[in-house]
Structure 1
Amino acid sequence: MPKGPNGEKRPADAIGLAVMIGKIATGEIEDTREGSSAAAQLGSLGGKKRAANMTPERRAEIAKAAAEKRWGNPPKQA
């Protein structure tokens, strides 16, 4: 049986993995995955520190740019 990135055993084929997921969903077996990684935790700390060091005006500037990027210039409808 192959091992995942953290050494956990998991099925090699798609059907075996589907059966395992079904068993986890129904509670037959326990999900053995760990929580978030150390890198993810450090990344969130860096983002908080960066936001704390930024002026409110700069944060507003970044937020406006992000909103424009996400919501501005909708695609033209035919």
Structure 2
Amino acid sequence: MIGNAVRAMRIATGEEADDVIDDGKSAAAKELGPKGGKKRAANMTPERRAEIAKKAAEKRWGGRLE
């Protein structure tokens, strides 16, 4: 925690460069990303959500569901 504060101070004073890693996503995509999943779930039927959840569980647990 203290190390991060020292780094922030060095960046602010110009002693150290602020190297921001570009993840390739646009700012709009980052801003709207968390909202998209909630909106998608709200528009789905409960049956479709259950189908997607079951498929995800099968992928995660390797088909070991009973």
TM-score normalized with structure 1 length: 0.47
Q: How does 1:1-78 map to 2 (within 5 A)?
A: 23-24=3-4, 27-30=5-8, 37-73=27-63
- State the identity %: 64
Q: After the TM superposition, list the runs of 4 or more consecutive aligned residues in structure 1 that deviate by more than 2 angstroms.
A: none
Runs of at least 5 residues in structure 1 that lack an aligned partner in the other structure:
1-22
Relative to structure 1, the CA distance from residue 55 to residue 73 in structure 2 (aligned partners, 3 Å threshold; closer, same or farther) is closer
Scaled by the length of structure 2, the TM-score of the pair is 0.54
**How many positions carry a matched residue from both structures?**
48
Across the aligned residues of Structure 1 and Structure 2, the Cα RMSD in angstroms comes to 2.8
Give, in angstroms, the shift of residue 73 of structure 1. 4.3
